[in-house]
Amino acid sequence: MSRLLGAEESLVLLGGGNTSLKVLETDFRGRETHVLRIKGSGSDLKTIRPDQFAGVRMEDVLPLFDRDAMTDEEMVEWLARTLMDPASPRPSIETLLHAFIPQAAVAHTHSDAIVALTDNANGHQALRECFGEDVLPIPYVRPGFALSKHVGRVARQNPGLRAVVLVNHGLVTWGDSAEEAYRLHIELVTRAEEHLAAHRGPSSAQPVPAAAHRSRRLVAAQIAPVLRGAIARLGGGSPPERCILLLDESPEATAFASRSDALRVTRAGPATPDHLLHTRRMPLVLPGLEPGSEPEWTARIQAAAEAWAREYRAYFARHASGERLLSHAPRVILAPGIGMWTAGKDARSAQIAGDIYRHTIRVIQDAEVLGPFSSLSDRDCFDVEYWPLELYKLTLAPPEKEMARRAVLVTGAAGAIGSAIAWRLAREGAHVALTDLDGERCAAIAREIAAACGTGTAIGLAMDVACEDSVRRGFREAVLAFGGLDVVVSNAGIAHSARLDELDLEDWKRSLDVNATGHFLVAREAIRILRAQGIGGSLVFNVTKNALAAGAEFGAYSAAKAAELQLARVAAIENGAAGIRVNMVNPDAVFSAGLWSPEMKARRAHAQGIPVDQVEEHYRQRNLLKARVEAEDVAEAVLWLASDRSSKTTGCIVPVDGGLREAFPR
């Protein structure tokens, strides 16, 4: 029963819903005991295992039915003492609801169709028409002792009853076996779906025309950094509260966001209390942003975000009685003609908000075929959002990693240094776009990072830093993936070794194209995005020691790197007032890097007058620390420059070369 219900997203999402079975077990004393096996808190019906069901002794919980009241804290403490195994998962907050129903098996879901029947002005009539006397409605009460006792009393007073609908919440069915409870559950959900289908007709809401797909993505890439910055600034704190933004361009999301009455219908609240915890009470609905009015977009987006925050603070002030104001930024943003963004501390959180709000959209649309959509009152929303049991869960979350909530783009990420940088930042919580000419290699590394650090934390893109259009496309895809950028590591480079009198003009131009112009194109695009966000950021250039200490037969490379260094200094000067820091790392002789091909080693050996097999040792011996420099050493320096640990540092050069006197920055 549990996994069957959990496999259907229209019934339960992301750990929602609950199932239980009353059984006879032997306790640790060898005594037969009636036990309620109920889904443990934090487990998911879709994948639940037997050990994830908490066992509660019925003899310890049934007497609670005679109580008149019980606080959540008292109930949680009591249930902890009734466990068959103290090491088992904490039983659900709805444990008593399941226990007070006399039948053996109970199933509870947040079925979209059932919720749609109740989330409208004609909800009670819809329930009667759909179910007749087979199901009784239970007015909305927040989960806890009061709701548990109400449902238990209804079940006991109506022996033939096998189901109740919790208004604005979901469906509860029961039976003498799991199969009986499950089959009845599916039967009632199917009846609800058929009832809605019979009433469904064309929507009366007129959509705002959506732009063509390509144009829509171009506009979305312009809007996203502005939106991300506006959201980050809502709390007024320092540093700003960054987020990851995921864009849903699906026809369903775009059509809903483009409804002319989107602002009105979404103000009614969430589909169910469970949705509220991930999507907030209502989304931010952006104004229409017509082509040709781009200069006004930033002000209009900022104004809309601030209006949302003011309304949230007013909502908090109306109902608060000692609670601390939570982060008041929207989790769902509807953009007419574009689609839906969802915000979270990471891609997973944003994805959860998106998954849930897509179900909210379906509930709203289905509910409206029966009457105007309605939901929880403001008071009920507040009581769920600031529920002490939910706030307690926040205190159990591990501290965020150093680069959490940040989006990073790394160029030259298919190589040893670039991939090491991407891995290091990702392990510290960053979301990373890996770019390189070798897009397939970047995509492969990104898949490895995502497998280790979390789905959606890395993407791989083909990008040629020497091509203006390619750079624009790469940055645009990164922005569409994460909502914006906080850190850009300009790392891509090539090397060609030849004496000046033997150097081909094309090799000279190619070095300047990649090692100088490429860094300019990357920096320009990065600065535009960071300025649009308005929350600062960090650029890190891989300059190398050659910018300060040129090498023989390395003229094209050294000259281009010197240009890169001056470019970085100018970028630091021009963008400090915007909170954008620009710094450099100067590594030397990282032999795992791609530029150290056998041919390059041979040429450098010739330039240094040493045998090829002594090149690596020669470079190690020439630095003061006699150290071998690895890609991971460079990545560590980049992490420091990218993080808030260097928040007071810009225009800085960090040598990662073991100590070369001729390359000392000063």
List pLDDT tens digits, range 618-654: 888 999 999 999 999 999 999 999 999 999 999 999 9
Percent of the chain with pLDDT over 70: 98
Flag whether pLDDT at 207 surpasses 70: no
Q: What local confidence, expressed as pLDDT, does residue 665 receive?
A: 87
Helix (H, G, I), strand (E, B) or coil at 203: coil
Q: What type of residue is 10?
A: S
Q: Tell me the average pLDDT of the chain.
A: 93
Helix axes 388-396, 72-80, angle to 10 degrees: 60
d(CA 603, CA 637): 29
Of 114-123, 140-149, 155-164, 291-300, where does mean pLDDT reach its minimum?
291-300
The residues pairing with 332 across neighbouring beta strands, listed in sequence order, are 342
φ and ψ at 333, to 5 degrees?
Answer: -130, 120
Residue 176 tokens read as: 């003498």
Q: List the catalytic residues.
A: 557
- 213-396 and 407-593+628-660 have identical folds: no
Residue 586 CA to residue 523 CA, distance in Å, equals 17
Across 287-305, b (16+ Cβ under 10 Å) vs e yields eebeeeeeeebbeebbebb
DSSP element (H, E) containing 223:
helix 213-232
Of 104-113, 127-136, 200-209, which gets the smallest average pLDDT? 200-209
With bands split at pLDDT 50, 70 and 90, how would you rate the model's confidence at 285?
very high
Q: Which residue has the tokens 């040709």?
A: 292
**Cα(218)–Cα(202) distance, integer angstroms:** 31
User: What's the average model confidence in pLDDT over 237-252?
Assistant: 92
Q: What residue has token string 């695009």?
A: 525
Least confident of 210-219, 351-360, 407-416, 552-561: 210-219
Supply the pLDDT for residue 606. Answer: 81
In terms of pLDDT, which residue wins out, 552 or 209?
552
What is the pLDDT, as a whole number, of residue 389? 83
pLDDT at 356 over 70: yes
- What is the average pLDDT across 192-220? 77
Residue 569's CB is within 10 A of a number of other CB atoms, namely 16
Model confidence at 112: pLDDT above 70: yes
- Residues in a beta bridge with 350: none
Do residues 272 and 168 touch, judged by C-beta distance below 8 A? yes
Q: Just give the CATH number of 407-593+628-660.
A: 3.40.50.720
> How does residue 543 score in pLDDT terms, banded at 50, 70 and 90?
very high
Residue 203: pLDDT above 80?
Answer: no
Does residue 174 register a pLDDT over 90?
yes
Indicate the pLDDT class of residue 210, thresholds 50, 70 and 90.
low
Q: What is the pLDDT of residues 396-419, one digit of tens each?
A: 788 999 999 999 999 999 999 999
Model pLDDT, residue 287: 92
Please state the pTM of the whole predicted model: 0.92
> Which pLDDT does position 396 carry in this prediction?
75
Among all chains, which residue has been given the structure tokens 């954008």?
A: 580
- Angle, helix 439-453 to helix 416-427, in steps of 10 degrees: 20
Tens-digit pLDDT profile for residues 7-34: 998 998 877 899 999 999 999 899 999 9
Bigger pLDDT: 480 or 396? 480
- Would you put residue 534 in left (φ > 0), alpha (ψ -120 to 50) or beta? left
Spatial CB neighbours of 541, under 8 Å, sequence gap ≥ 6: 490, 519, 523, 564, 565, 567, 568, 582, 583, 584, 585
Q: Which helix (H) or strand (E) holds 83?
A: none
The size of the chain, in residues, is 666
Please state the rounded mean pLDDT for residues 297-314: 95
Q: Is the pLDDT of residue 206 over 60?
A: no
Which residues in 587-616 are b (16+ Cβ under 10 Å) and which e? Answer: bbbbbebbbbeeebbebbbeebeeeeeebe
pLDDT band at 390 (very low <50, low <70, confident <90, very high): confident
Per-residue model confidence (pLDDT) at position 609: 84
- Alpha-helical regions (H) of 26-110: 58-61, 72-80, 95-100
| DSSP run (H or E) holding 214 | helix 213-232
422/429 Cα distance (integer angstroms): 11
Beta bridge mates, 106: 20, 174
Helix, coil or strand: residue 666: coil
CA–CA separation, 350 vs 482, rounded Å?
Answer: 10
The superfamily CATH assigns to domain 2-199 is Class II aldolase/adducin N-terminal domain (3.40.225.10)
User: Which amino acid would we find at residue 482?
Assistant: F
H or E segment at 35? strand 32-39
- Give the Cβ contact number of residue 630 at 10 Å: 17
Q: List pLDDT tens digits, range 33-49.
A: 999 999 998 888 999 99
Look at residue 23 and give its three-state secondary structure. Answer: strand
CA–CA distance, 434 with 447 (Å, rounded to integer):
11
Averaged pLDDT for residues 261-279: 89
Omega cis (within 30) before 63: no
Q: Residue 262: pLDDT above 70?
A: yes
Strand pairing category for 53-57 and 32-39: antiparallel
- What does the alpha-carbon distance between residue 257 and residue 263 come to, in Å, rounded to a whole number? 9
Residue 646 to residues 638, 652, 665: CA-CA distances in angstroms?
10, 10, 18
Give Cα separations from 517 to 466, 468, 511, 523 (angstroms). Answer: 6, 10, 9, 10
Query: Which carries the bigger pLDDT value, residue 613 or residue 559?
Result: 559
Helices (H) and strands (E) in the chain, counts: 25, 18
Whole-number Å distance between alpha carbons of 161 and 135: 7
Q: What is the pLDDT of residue 405?
A: 97
**Is there a contact between 493 and 471 (Cβ–Cβ < 8 Å)?**
no
Question: What is the spatial distance between Cα 47 and Cα 296, in angstroms, rounded to a whole number?
Answer: 48
Write the CATH number of the domain with boundaries 213-396.
3.40.225.10
Rounded mean pLDDT, 161-178: 96
b/e code 535-561 from CB counts within 10 Å (16+ = b): bbbbbbbbbbbbbbbbbebbbbbbbbb
Domain ranges of the chain: 2-199, 213-396, 407-593+628-660
List phi, psi (to 5°) of 247.
-100, 130
Can you tell me the distance from the alpha carbon of 416 to that of 493, in angstroms, rounded to the nearest whole number?
12
Q: What is the pLDDT averaged over residues 591-597?
A: 76
pLDDT at 165 over 70: yes
- Helix, strand and coil percent figures for the chain, each rounded to 5: 50, 15, 35
Residue 101: closest CA among 183, 188, 172 = 172
Between 270-279, 290-299, 515-524, 618-627, the lowest mean confidence (pLDDT) is in 290-299
C-alpha angle with apex 110: 107 to 115, nearest 5 degrees? 125
Q: Does residue 499 contact residue 507 with C-beta atoms inside 8 Å?
A: no
Segment 626-636, tens digit of pLDDT = 999 999 999 99
